[in-house]
Amino acid sequence: MDKKSFKGYLYLLPSIIIMVCFTLYPLVRAIIMSFLGDYSIINDSYNSIGFENYKALFSDPDFGKSLINTAIYVVCVVPASIILSLLFAVLINSCKKLKALFQTIYFLPYVTSVIAIGIVWRWMFNSNYGLINYVLSIFGVEPIQWLNLPEYAMPALIIFAIWKSMAFNILIFLAGLQTIPEDLYRAARIDSTPRLRVFTRITVPSLAPMIVYSSVIGMIGAFKVYNEVFSLFQGKAGPANSAMTIVYYIYDKFYNSYKYGVAAAGSVVLFLIILALTQIQLKVTGGRKK
């Protein structure tokens, strides 16, 4: 190593130290912990080394449910949020005068505390006084016990999460819409393109990079869903654990059941799922560029 690159590494040192302490070391520790039976975080003791925690994890019906719930959550929230955000972004963008106002309004959920939003949505979902049931009652729908019945817990969570994640996506798409040259739309006009075709053949393809980006970020984020569950169900995972997600399961095992090894095993599984997904997405997006 010559003197110049030594100096360079010196500049990187602070961030390397922080990364090693707070990312790399915990990661390694978590992986090790997941192989230690009956591990205690207090006196660093364990009974056995092996796959005990993983066996416990995969035989726990709650973990199975959390996997399924998380999968349903990802499959529903990410595409719905992207499609809705795209429509809203185009609408906001076409409204030249009030654009700045709408842009701010739609971005509010992103900068507001999830807990605060959760309280508002709890009220909206309230079966007796809630806004959602009121609107539904106009169409003759009987009041729904959104937050009290296990079968409605996931739908409520998904509706809440779609609304919340739209803020970021709309921002990304609005930024993307600014980069589409005005001349393309003028050309489309001269070419007498119907409006729907302008959207599907010009706007959407031009936004393709942003859509890919949003779905990657959205999917990784959705796999790690926890805040939304915590805030909507006041620290629980819904009635009868009906809205249990992977991260919530890990949290529960660690802080409530003190099963540190099982919690570590759960996070390793989540880590592998996200790693695999990122790899697939990198391949797909890498292929697009070529």
Partner 1 sequence: MDIRIENLTKTYGNLNAVDHMNLSINDGELVGLLGPSGCGKSTTLFMLSGLTTPTEGKIYFGDKDVTSIPPEDREIGLVFQNYALYPHMTVEDNITFPLINRGMKKAQAREEAFEIAKVVKIEQYMKRRPSELSGGQQQRVAIARALVKKPQVLLLDEPLSNLDAKLRVATREEIRRIQQEVKITTIFVTHDQEEAMSISDRIAVMKEGVLQQYEVPQTMYLNPANTFVANFLGMPEINNIEIDVKGGVISADGNILRKGASLADGHYKAGIRPESFYVDENGAALEVSNIRMTGRDLLLFTKLGSTDVRVLVHSYMQIGVGDKLGVSVRDEHILVFDDKEVLIGRF
Q: Which residues bind partner 1 (CB under 8 A)?
A: 181, 183-184, 186-187, 189-194, 197, 201-202, 205-206, 208
Count of alpha carbons within 13 Å of 186, Cβ hemisphere only? 3
Element (H, E) at 37: strand 36-37
CB of 99 to partner 1, least distance (A): 21
CB of 162 to partner 1, least distance (A): 28
CB of 211 to partner 1, least distance (A): 13
CB of 115 to partner 1, least distance (A): 42
Q: Which is nearer to partner 1, 140 or 181 (CB)?
A: 181
Q: Which is nearer to partner 1, 44 or 191 (CB)?
A: 191
CB of 288 to partner 1, least distance (A): 11
Q: Which is nearer to partner 1, 138 or 190 (CB)?
A: 190
CB of 52 to partner 1, least distance (A): 53
Element (H, E) at 49: strand 48-49
Residue 167: count of CB within 10 angstroms of its CB? 18
Distance CA 197, CA 176 (A): 18
Whether 276 and 223 have beta carbons less than 8 Å apart is answered as no
Q: Which is nearer to partner 1, 29 or 288 (CB)?
A: 288
Whether 241 and 60 have beta carbons less than 8 Å apart is answered as no
* Residues whose CB falls within 8 Å of the CB of residue 122, separated by 6 or more in sequence, listed in order: 147, 232, 234
For the chain, report the end-to-end CA distance as a whole number of angstroms. Answer: 36
Q: Which is nearer to partner 1, 201 or 283 (CB)?
A: 201
CB of 194 to partner 1, least distance (A): 7
Most distant pair of Cα atoms in the chain: their distance: 77
The H-assigned helical ranges of 95-113 are 99-111
Q: Which is nearer to partner 1, 29 or 197 (CB)?
A: 197
Q: Which is nearer to partner 1, 26 or 205 (CB)?
A: 205
* Residues whose CB falls within 8 Å of the CB of residue 204, separated by 6 or more in sequence, listed in order: 86, 211
